[in-house]
């Protein structure tokens, strides 16, 4: 699994990882984590797994991260009763701190809103945005929860402007063509 993960990342990003070169694209690892263990193999279904099982199935993710993968897509599912999109232990403690991932954490289609509301852990889109952001999500795909609510969350003092800036920087650094020639 380790060699396969490394080969996939190198195939997309090149041996040198320079995404600014022609024919390169960022490798996105998906779906983090345990999505293949969903009950009855159904999309959106819950995942129940022991820490030992989770660490085994996360090893290919770790190998791909070590190979320089630029993005990780979060699973739609819950992981041991917590939606992965709002799972701070999974996204910050394991992915960022334990695995040393420095790239972008992206959601799947509408995983913040309405999925976190549908899972019953957020009362509305603003709370869903807060939970996903504080868990460690960088990019909200499709739901527009970050676009519509991060400014208000900063105004309310629940997240800082510096945290939003740091997430934006991750995106710009991940795409050299977007950040080329721009200062801090």
Q: What is the pLDDT of residue 180?
A: 46
Question: In this predicted structure, what is the pLDDT of residue 16?
Answer: 86
Nearest to 108 by CA among 81, 75, 149, 133: 75
CB atoms within 10 A of CB 39: 12
- pLDDT per position in the chain (184 positions), as tens? 788 999 999 999 998 888 888 989 999 999 999 888 988 888 778 999 999 999 999 999 999 999 999 999 999 899 999 999 999 999 999 999 999 999 999 999 999 999 999 999 999 999 999 999 999 999 999 999 999 999 999 999 999 999 999 999 988 887 655 444 434 4
CA distance linking residue 169 with residue 161, whole number of Å: 12
3-state secondary structure the chain: CHHHHHHHHHHHHCCCCCCCCCCCCCCEEEEECCHHHCHHHCCCCCECCCHHHHHHHHHHHHHHHHCCCCEEEECCCEECCEEHHHCHHHHHHHHHHHCCCCCEEECCCCCCCCHHHHCCCCCCHHHHHHHHHHHCCCECCCCCHHHHHHHHHHHCCCCCHHHHHHHHHHHHHHCHHHHCCCCC
Asked whether the whole model's pTM tops 0.85, one would answer yes
* CA nearest to 83, candidates 145, 27, 141, 31: 31
| Catalytic choice (15, 16, 108, 177) | 108
Q: How far from chain centre, in Å, is Cα 19? A: 19
81 labelled catalytic: no
What local confidence, expressed as pLDDT, does residue 175 receive? 63
């Amino acid at each position: 699994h380790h060699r396969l993960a490394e080969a996939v990342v190198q195939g997309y990003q090149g041996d040198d990882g320079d995404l600014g070169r022609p024919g390169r694209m960022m490798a996105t690892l998906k779906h983090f984590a345990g999505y293949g263990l969903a009950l009855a193999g159904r999309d959106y279904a819950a995942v129940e797994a022991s820490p030992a099982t989770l660490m085994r199935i996360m090893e290919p993710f770790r190998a791909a991260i070590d190979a320089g993968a630029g993005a990780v897509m979060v699973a739609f599912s819950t992981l041991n009763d917590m939606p992965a999109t709002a799972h701070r232990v999974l996204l910050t403690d394991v992915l960022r701190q334990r695995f040393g991932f420095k790239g972008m954490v992206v959601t799947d289609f509408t995983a913040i809103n309405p999925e976190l509301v549908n899972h019953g852990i957020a009362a509305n889109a603003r709370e869903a945005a807060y939970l996903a952001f504080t868990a460690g999500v960088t990019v909200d795909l499709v739901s527009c929860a970050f676009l519509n609510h991060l400014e208000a969350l900063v105004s309310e003092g629940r997240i800082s402007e510096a945290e939003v800036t740091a997430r934006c920087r991750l995106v710009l650094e991940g795409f050299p063509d977007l950040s080329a020639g721009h200062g801090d």
